[in-house]
A = this chain, B = another copy of it.
Amino acid sequence: MAQNMLIGQSGGPTAVINSSLAGAMQYAFSRDEIDTVYGMINGITGLLNDNIINLNDVFKARPSKINRLKLTPAMYLGSCRYKLSTDGDELERIVSQLEKYDIKYLIYIGGNDSMDTVQKLYEYTKKQSIDIKIAGIPKTVDNDLCGIDHSPGFGSAAKYVATAVRNVSYDTSIYSVKSVHIIEAMGRNAGWLTAASALARDKYEIAPHLIYLPEIPFSVDRFIEDLQEKLSQYNSVIAVVSEGIRDESGEYISTRGDEKDLFGHATLSGCSAYLRDIAAQRIGCKVRSLELSVLQRSGGHATSLTDVQEAFNLGIMAVKAVLQGETGVFSTLKRTSNLPYTVEYGTENVSVIANAERLVPREWINERGNDVTQAMLDYLRPLIEGVVQTPYRNGLPDYIDIAHLDINKQNYTDLA
Contact = CB atoms under 8 A, between A and B. Distances in A.
Interface of A: 9, 13, 42, 45, 72-75, 78-81, 159, 162-164, 166-168, 170-176, 199-200, 202-206, 233-236, 273, 288, 290-291, 293-295, 297-302, 304, 381, 384-387, 390, 392-397, 399, 401-403, 405-409, 411
Contacts of A406: 173, 234-236
A277 to B, nearest CB: 10
22 contacts: A73-B170, A74-B170, A78-B173, A78-B174, A79-B175, A81-B175, A162-B395, A162-B396, A163-B396, A172-B294, A173-B406, A202-B396, A203-B401, A204-B411, A234-B406, A234-B409, A288-B294, A291-B291, A301-B302, A384-B394, A384-B395, A386-B395
Contact of A290 (B9, B295, B407): B295
A319 B300 CA distance: 39
Given A234-B409, A290-B291, A174 B13 contact: yes
B42 A166 contact: no
Contacts of A394: 199, 202, 381, 384-385
Nearest to A404: B204
Given A170-B72, A290-B293, A401-B203, A233 B386 contact: no
Contacts of A80: 175-176
A74 B162 CA distance: 17
A387 to B, nearest CB: 5
A280 to B, nearest CB: 10
Given A78-B176, A288-B293, 8 more contacts: A73-B170, A79-B174, A163-B396, A166-B399, A167-B301, A172-B294, A290-B291, A387-B390
